[in-house]
């Protein structure tokens, strides 16, 4: 916090240096995706420190105990390879914790020494360490490239690759591969599909795993999560919708090329237009109509926009987070008449820059954005030092900048360590759009109330 006080508005070109990154590491995303499979035990193939960090990042965000194993590398395994550690770990995990599946991901260390997960997993099977009816899936997640979003995408592909088959008998269902979003968002995808009468297979699905009830009984494997049978059946579906370009494209393409299940990748359906696209694609893919109940919710979103547009209009917003979430949020705040003045994501991708240019082309402001390693919260802070904004949107780490600059903050994305709600209330779909508008308006109007002179302090805005 004290260090942030020394941030100046003097921006210098820099490379190979990230200060306060707008990202976290690959295995965090891989572990999160693994928890979206029912009865799955995530396993970190690396040293204990990495695993402790990944577990704690998820536990602190969800306030649920996240359990995972580690190959517990020592100096010996770091030099000679971690094969024997991993095979012992697989044996111990199945013996002691009896999961249906172990989902293994690598870390920087095991990647650097070149451990081959495919070969080690096969050896574990050949050595009889994987009991009948149990499974291993795996993904490479070197964190010196990519971010938690890449790690999520890699594990989602690993899960699909490990389980999905084509039986030849069509199941008439639509596959949904959610991007990196909350359990509440995944529940909302299911609710929307249910309203439309569309049968879906969704994986991963962390609803019921990381937002379950407290009932006095600890369950190592809660009721939620996509079952192995469901993921297996994805090869017989009529199509796949991926919701998030960074997080789902690989899995969608795999289902398409391997099983001829046609896929379409959309953005995360955050906001009015993105939700319209999601509902429309679901309608087209399933051959159903949009029911009145969905039109009703959409109408409520439009009503709020119309009633409160004067409070949104012209407000400058700064955002940091994941690219799939940011592109949708930027489009949504533009729909509301706000100005997405400054945006950074630590996850790189050419598409981010292209899509941002497209979204911003009619915004009458010199908006700035950046993606990749140097697109960090330090740069974001410098930008707003030179040009203050009305609202910040991003994870808990932005609270330091919010306090330093005395700017309201709406928490969104990962991680959120100091507020509740993200696990239980969606920000996707029309219901999510309403929740986001409520949060934006709450922050903007609370600030206006705080700063209003006596003569302008009104009961009604
Ligand atoms: S060493 Fe790599 S995998 Fe481990 S915590 Fe650090 S960035 Fe993540």
Residue nearest to atom 3 of ligand 1 (CA): 107
Task: Give the separation between CA 301 and CA 307, rounded to whole angstroms.
Answer: 10
Are 312 and 412 contained in the same domain?
Answer: yes
Residue 168 lies in a domain: no
In the prediction, which pLDDT does 206 show?
98
In the prediction, which pLDDT does 414 show?
97
Residue 342 lies in a domain: yes
Are 63 and 92 contained in the same domain?
Answer: yes
Residue 169 lies in a domain: no
Please give the number of the atom of ligand 1 that sits closest to the Cα of 47: 4
Rounded to the nearest whole angstrom, what is the distance from the C-alpha of residue 50 to the centroid of ligand 1? 5
Are 72 and 183 contained in the same domain?
Answer: no
Are 264 and 405 contained in the same domain?
Answer: no
Are 300 and 226 contained in the same domain?
Answer: no
Are 184 and 126 contained in the same domain?
Answer: no
Among candidate residues 189, 108, 203, the one with its CA nearest the CA of residue 156: 203
Are 264 and 308 contained in the same domain?
Answer: no
Residue 461 lies in a domain: no
End residue of a domain, out of 109, 144, 163: 163
Tokens describing residue 262: 């046609």
Residue 189 lies in a domain: yes
In the prediction, which pLDDT does 36 show?
98
Please give the number of the atom of ligand 1 that sits closest to the Cα of 53: 5
- Do 252 and 264 touch, CB atoms closer than 8 A? yes
Task: Give the separation between CA 318 and CA 260, rounded to whole angstroms.
Answer: 41
Pocket test for ligand 1, best of 21, 24, 25, 57 (most atoms within 8 A of CB): 25
In the prediction, which pLDDT does 3 show?
57
What residues flank ligand 1, with Cβ below 6 Å? Answer: 25, 27, 50, 53, 107-108, 143
In the prediction, which pLDDT does 188 show?
98
Sheet strand arrangement including 339-345: 368-371, 339-345, 316-320, 391-394, 409-411
Report the 3 state secondary structure along the chain: CCHHHHCCCCCCCCCCCCCCCCCCCHHHHHHHHHCCECCEEEEEECCHHHHHHHHHHHHHHHCCCCCCEECCCCHHHHHHCCHHHHHHHHHHHHHHHCCCEEEEEECHHHHHHCCCHHHHHHHHHHCCCCCCCCEEEEECCCCCCCCHHHHHHHHHHHHHHHHCCCCCCCCCCEEEEECCCCHHHHHHHHHHHHHCCCCEEECCCCCCCCCCCCCCCCCCCCCCCECHHHHHHHHHCCEEEEECHHHHHHHHHHHHHHHCCCEEEECCCCCHHHHHHHHHHHHHHHCCCCCHHHHHHHHHHHHHHHHHHHHHCCCEEEEECCHHHHHHHHHHHHHCCCEEEEEEECCCCHHHHHHHHHHHCCCCCCCEEEECCCCCHHHHHHHHHHCCCCEEEECHHHHHHHHHHCCCEEECCCCCCCCCCCCCCCCCHHHHHHHHHHHHHHHHHHHHHHHCCHHHCCCCC
Rounded to the nearest whole angstrom, what is the distance from the C-alpha of residue 143 to the centroid of ligand 1? 6
Are 58 and 121 contained in the same domain?
Answer: yes
Tokens describing residue 162: 């490990």
Residue 227 lies in a domain: yes
- Do 161 and 254 touch, CB atoms closer than 8 A? yes
Rounded to the nearest whole angstrom, what is the distance from the C-alpha of residue 146 to the centroid of ligand 1? 11
In the prediction, which pLDDT does 2 show?
55
Are 245 and 331 contained in the same domain?
Answer: no
Domain holding 309, by residue range, is 3-18+293-455
End residue of a domain, out of 106, 134, 163: 163
Beta carbons within 10 angstroms of residue 201's beta carbon: 23
Please give the number of the atom of ligand 1 that sits closest to the Cα of 108: 2
In the prediction, which pLDDT does 190 show?
98
Rounded to the nearest whole angstrom, what is the distance from the C-alpha of residue 73 to the centroid of ligand 1? 13
Residue 35 lies in a domain: yes
Burial of 82 (0-12, 13-18, 19+ CB in 10 A): buried
Task: Give the separation between CA 413 and CA 140, rounded to whole angstroms.
Answer: 24
Give the pLDDT means over successive 10-residue stretches in the chain (461 positions). 75 88 95 98 97 97 96 92 96 98 97 96 97 98 95 98 97 98 98 98 98 94 97 98 98 98 98 98 97 98 97 98 98 98 94 97 97 93 97 97 96 97 97 98 96 91 71
In the prediction, which pLDDT does 436 show?
98
Are 54 and 137 contained in the same domain?
Answer: yes
In the prediction, which pLDDT does 99 show?
98
End residue of a domain, out of 243, 271, 292: 292
Say how many domains are in the chain. 3
Rounded to the nearest whole angstrom, what is the distance from the C-alpha of residue 117 to the centroid of ligand 1? 17
Residue 445 lies in a domain: yes
Are 52 and 80 contained in the same domain?
Answer: yes
Kindly report the CATH number assigned to the domain that includes residue 239.
Answer: 3.40.50.1980
Residue nearest to atom 2 of ligand 1 (CA): 108
Are 102 and 228 contained in the same domain?
Answer: no
Residue nearest to atom 1 of ligand 1 (CA): 108
In the prediction, which pLDDT does 416 show?
98
């Amino acid at each position: 916090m004290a260090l942030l006080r020394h941030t100046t508005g003097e921006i210098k070109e820099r490379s190979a240096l990230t200060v306060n990154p707008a990202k976290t590491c690959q295995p965090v995303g891989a572990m999160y995706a693994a928890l979206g499979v029912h009865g799955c035990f995530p396993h970190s193939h690396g040293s204990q420190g990495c695993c402790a960090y990944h577990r704690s990042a998820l536990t602190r965000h969800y306030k649920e105990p996240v359990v995972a194993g580690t190959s517990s590398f020592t100096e010996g395994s770091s030099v000679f390879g971690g094969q024997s550690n991993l095979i012992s770990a697989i044996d111990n995990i199945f013996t002691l914790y009896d999961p249906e599946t172990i989902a293994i991901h690598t870390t920087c260390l095991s990647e650097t020494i070149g451990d081959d997960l495919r070969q080690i997993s096969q050896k574990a099977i050949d050595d009889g360490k994987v009991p009948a009816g149990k499974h291993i899936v795996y993904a490479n997640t070197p964190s010196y490239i990519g971010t938690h979003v890449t790690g999520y995408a890699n594990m989602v592909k690993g899960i699909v690759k490990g389980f999905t088959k084509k039986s030849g008998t069509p199941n008439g269902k639509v596959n949904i591969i959610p991007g990196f979003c909350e359990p509440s968002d995944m529940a909302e995808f299911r609710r929307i599909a249910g309203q439309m009468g569309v049968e879906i297979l969704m994986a991963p699905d962390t609803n019921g795993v990381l937002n379950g009830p407290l009932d006095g009984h600890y369950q190592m494997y809660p009721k939620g999560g996509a079952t192995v049978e469901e993921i297996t059946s994805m090869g017989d579906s009529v199509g796949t919708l991926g919701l998030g370009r960074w997080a789902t494209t690989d899995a969608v393409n795999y289902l398409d090329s391997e099983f001829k299940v046609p896929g379409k990748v959309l953005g995360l359906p955050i906001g009015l237009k993105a939700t319209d696209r999601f509902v429309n694609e679901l309608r087209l893919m399933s051959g159903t109509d949009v029911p009145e109940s969905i039109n009703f919710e959409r109408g409520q979103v439009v009503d709020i926009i119309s009633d409160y547009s004067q409070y949104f209009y012209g407000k400058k917003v700064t955002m940091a987070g994941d690219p799939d979430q940011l592109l949708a949020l930027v489009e949504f705040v533009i729909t509301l008449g706000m100005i997405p003045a400054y945006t950074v994501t630590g996850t790189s991708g050419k598409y981010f820059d292209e899509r941002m240019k497209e979204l911003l082309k009619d915004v009458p402001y010199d908006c700035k954005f950046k993606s990749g390693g140097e697109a960090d919260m330090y740069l974001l802070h410098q930008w707003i030092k030179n040009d203050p904004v009305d609202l910040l949107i991003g994870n808990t780490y932005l609270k330091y900048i919010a306090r330093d600059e005395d700017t309201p903050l709406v928490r969104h994305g990962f991680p959120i360590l100091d507020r509740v709600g993200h696990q239980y209330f969606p920000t996707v779909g029309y219901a999510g759009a309403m929740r986001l508008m409520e949060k934006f308006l709450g922050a903007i109007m609370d600030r206006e109330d705080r700063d209003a002179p006596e003569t302008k302090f009104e009961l009604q805005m």
